[in-house]
Amino acid sequence: MDLNLINKQKTFEENEDKRGANIVKIANIDNSKMLAEITTLIQKEFQGEYETSTNILDVPIIPIFHSSHFIAFAPYKQGDRLMVIPTEDPLDNVINSDEPVEPDLFRKFSEDDYVAFGGITKDEVTSPDPTSFIIYSYDSGSYIKLKQSGEVEINAPSGMKIIGNTEIVGNLNVSENTVTQGTTTTSGNKLIEGHTHEDKHGGQTGPF
């Protein structure tokens, strides 16, 4: 009789209901509901053999921040990595309740009650600016950067849209020559629409 195998089995049974955090990969994702189908990346040993991972469905993803008034979250895609941790008791009744409820099932630290958070990175992932707070898009290269100096830098390769009235308190420096305001265009600080020049005969050209 293999005592080492018996001890491993005993340890496995004693800790079966004491799961901790785990690294997983997204197999399918519903970003509108923040639910993921996941595959665990750390295989479990059972009776001397490692089990093949099976997918776990409808795992809720914790947003970056969420309160009654605000939410901040990033869309995920298939293949992204997350960290998951099981809750002590079932989530079924409590996840949509604002009041204390009794669990309708008896299970402890189950994979059925995983919640996911974060996007744990591989070693090769580095910050483009480790001294700043950055919201960065790998796909487009766009970013919002809050620097330690107090300067805020925005990079928008495909353009930036502001919906609503905009007030600028302070100086506005424009590096390009043309600024369009609705149907009014200025070039080199001159109004193009209605702008005239005196011709060589003393008359006026334009207006546009």
Cα–Cα dist 81/203, whole Å? 71
Q: What is the pTM for the complete model shown?
A: 0.68
pLDDT at 48: 75
Is-contact 113 19, C-beta < 8 A? Answer: no
Distance between CA 115 and CA 88 in Å, rounded? 11
φ and ψ at 85, to 5 degrees?
Answer: -145, 140
For 11-38, letters b (16+ CB in 10 Å) and e give eeeeeeeebeebebbbeebeeeebebbb
- Scanning the structure block, which residue is given the tokens 């005969």? 201
User: What is the pLDDT, as a whole number, of residue 5?
Assistant: 57
Tokens describing residue 168 = 């600028």
Beta bridge partners of 86: 114
Q: Digits of tens for pLDDT over the chain (208 positions)?
A: 565 555 555 544 555 555 688 899 999 999 999 999 999 888 777 777 777 778 999 999 998 888 889 888 889 999 999 999 998 888 888 888 889 888 877 888 888 889 998 877 777 777 878 899 999 898 899 999 999 999 999 999 999 999 999 999 999 888 876 666 665 555 555 554 555 555 555 555 555 4
The per-residue DSSP string of 139-196 comes to: TT--EEEE-TTS-EEEE-TT-----S-----S-----SSEEEETTEEEETTEE-TT--
